[in-house]
Amino acid sequence: MILSDKEILENIAKGLIVIEPFRPECLGPNSYDVHLGKVLGVYVDEVLDARKHNRIELFEIPDEGYVLQPNMLYLGVTEEYTETHVHVPFLEGRSSVGRLGIDIHATAGKGDVGFCNYWTLEISVKKPVRIYAGMPIGQLIYFEVKGEVLNPYNRRPSAKYRERKPIPIESMLWKHFATPSPVNEGNCSP
């Protein structure tokens, strides 16, 4: 079941959902609009390797905007930091963004219970399109979970995206091939 605007507000009041900054005008009937942060990233290497740490180059979107090009992958980030302690958050692109041919995620639209961070966006475009920092880019939808969650994201030793950073984060798939590191405490709690 998807949370309504009233349910989202009640869960924010209880501290079960956190959205910073929270802007009441961004709350829809059953979603919350998020915005594009000012930093984009692009991979340095032409060929990416799933077993290696593929570095990205970060840059800020200038005031006059930045033109995204087809056949490129851009990593973006939401302006909003979020925490979701008992619900499953889904990030979907806004229809007005999709109508410009902008995809905001390649595969990773679903978050996990316990996700506490900014959202990294995997952005691609069909045609060249100018984008701007702060523009509406997507919407968060919250689903109820049936049953107890035994292993929330922020408490999993294998969670790769727990460090709170307001910048796009490159793929950490290479960590699956690396030696396990010591357990690290999550950066948020319910």
Does 180 fall in a domain? Answer: no
The domain that holds 125 is classified in CATH as: 2.70.40.10
Question: Token pair of 95, please?
Answer: 């229809």
The active-site residue, picked from 57, 122, 163, 170, is: 122
Does 34 fall in a domain? Answer: yes
Active-site residue, 122 included: yes
Does 179 fall in a domain? Answer: no
Contacts of 146 (CB under 8 A, 6+ apart): none
How much is the pLDDT for 183? 46
Find out whether 152 and 188 touch, Cβ atoms under 8 Å. Answer: no
Does 182 fall in a domain? Answer: no
Does 168 fall in a domain? Answer: no
Specify the 3-state DSSP secondary structure of 71. coil
How much is the pLDDT for 12? 98
How much is the pLDDT for 185? 47
Question: Token pair of 102, please?
Answer: 């902008």
How much is the pLDDT for 187? 58
- The count of other CB atoms within 10 Å of the CB of residue 20 is 10
Say how far apart CA 87 and CA 99 lie, in whole Å: 29
Does 181 fall in a domain? Answer: no
Find out whether 138 and 91 touch, Cβ atoms under 8 Å. Answer: yes
Domain that holds residue 137: 5-46+55-151
How much is the pLDDT for 77? 97
The count of domains in the chain is 1
State the pTM of this model: 0.88
How much is the pLDDT for 149? 87
Q: Give, for 42, the enclosing helix (H) or strand (E).
A: strand 39-43
Q: What is the pLDDT along the chain (190 residues), one digit of tens a residue?
A: 999 999 999 999 999 999 999 999 999 999 999 999 999 999 999 999 999 999 999 999 999 999 999 999 999 999 999 999 999 999 999 999 999 999 998 776 788 899 999 999 999 999 999 999 999 999 999 999 988 888 777 777 776 777 788 888 888 888 878 755 444 445 576 6
Specify the 3-state DSSP secondary structure of 47. coil
Angle, CA of 120, 44 and 65, to the nearest 5°: 55
Could you read off the pLDDT of 45-63 as tens digits, one per residue? 999 999 999 999 999 999 9
Does 26 fall in a domain? Answer: yes
Does 74 fall in a domain? Answer: yes
Say how far apart CA 108 and CA 67 lie, in whole Å: 23
